[in-house]
Amino acid sequence: MLLSRRWSAFLLLAGIWNWLIWPRFAKAIWDDPRSFHDGSPTSFFTVHAVLIVTALTIGTVIGYLGVKGLRRAGR
């Protein structure tokens, strides 16, 4: 499948957006008092950590697809 330049740019921007937003959210979760109890992570922290890792992985993949699409569209 060949992506248009617009879709490729959209995917790249969506990937960048994920990498701008989710690390800030991770810091907020880390600093939240509900994240740790007696020094060990709570389920609140674990669930959000899985969510953040998943979102960053998806952001990386769609960003990569955007870059790849832009490179191919440039040919």
Q: What domain range is 17 assigned to?
A: 5-73
What letter represents residue 26's amino acid? A
What is the pLDDT at residue 74? 75
User: Is pTM, for the whole model, over 0.85?
Assistant: yes
Confidence of residue 1 (pLDDT cuts 50, 70, 90): confident
If we measure between CA atoms, which residue out of 55, 47, 54 comes closest to residue 17?
55
Number of domains forming the structure of the chain: 1
Summarize pLDDT for 10-69 with one digit per residue, the tens: 999 999 999 999 999 999 999 999 999 999 999 999 999 999 999 999 999 999 999 999
